[in-house]
Amino acid sequence: MSSYYAESLPVLLDAQRALITQLVQEGGGETLIERLLAPRQKSGREIAAEALTGRMRSEAAGLRQSAQNAAEGTSIADTLIAAGESISESLSAMRSIAAGYPSMTAQERATAQTEYEAALSDIKNIVKSTSYNGMALLDGAQWSKDERTEDGKIKIRLGGWDKEISLTDLQSFAGALPQWADIASDAATSATTLGSSLETMRVRDLSWQALEQSFKSNAEALERQAGILADSAARSVLGAKDDPLARLLYTLLTDQGKLVDSLS
């Protein structure tokens, strides 16, 4: 044992024995263990503080769940954005084919037909297959089969209110796009129609991007609120350690306290 501890230990033991004696005397002659294990009467202030702390922790947990829900909303918006971008790419390719159709040779038109019909098929497949956790997002024919989307909306719970995602049915949109026969009969009109459809998708993309940013902001705000509540609750708990008796009991229940108890 170092000289420092050899000199300090007797002083520490004497001080802790004095504290133990005081506790026993205040306890009406109870043993140290009885005194330590005896239930301590809580003041109304302490009870209120504990209730407030529990409520803050509960509310913080609820806010974090809402933040997770908002993150789910962000993921749904991301799925819609990705689908919209893919549809726009196909529409752009189709419009380019329609615009160039008049100057194509017979062989070029045969190749263009294959590319055009493939792009049109891709759009229809995207509309039908785009989903999130089993929820169809772009095919209105599937919404009534799922109670989560039967009214054409997805509700995201954020705290005490719901944020709605209004779904867009693109099934009729895809079905109204010009077919190859339309290109062959009137390429100019078909190119104009495809240009209008492309603009419609760009507007949709902007709307979904705004939705994504909104959910991200909601998630960040909810996380901040949860952090503030959790921090306040933690401070309330730590504040209780400023109580002299609480600090004393904590000291006596550490290894040093057990050492004193075994030697006394």
| CATH class held by domain 46-237 | mainly alpha
244-264 pLDDT per residue, tens: 554 554 444 444 434 333 333
Can you tell me which residue has the tokens 């039967």?
Answer: 150
123-177 pLDDT per residue, tens: 999 999 999 999 999 999 999 999 999 999 999 988 778 899 999 999 999 999 9
- Our separate counts of H helices and E strands in the chain read 9, 4
Domain borders along the chain are 11-39+241-263, 46-237
Contact, 112 vs 145, CB < 8 A? no
CA distance 36 to 246: 11
161-217 pLDDT per residue, tens: 889 999 999 999 999 999 999 999 999 999 999 999 999 999 999 999 999 999 999
> Angle of helix 255-263 relative to helix 3-26, nearest 10 degrees?
80
pLDDT of 22? 58
How far apart, in Å, are the Cα atoms of 144 and each of 72, 113, 149? 21, 35, 7
Please state, for a pLDDT cut of 90, what percent of the chain lies above it: 53
Six token digits for residue 142:
């599937």
39-68 pLDDT per residue, tens: 555 544 454 455 555 666 677 777 888 889
User: For 221, how many CA atoms within 13 A lie in the half-sphere containing its CB?
Assistant: 9
Max intra-chain CA distance, the chain: 110
CA distance 120 to 228: 51
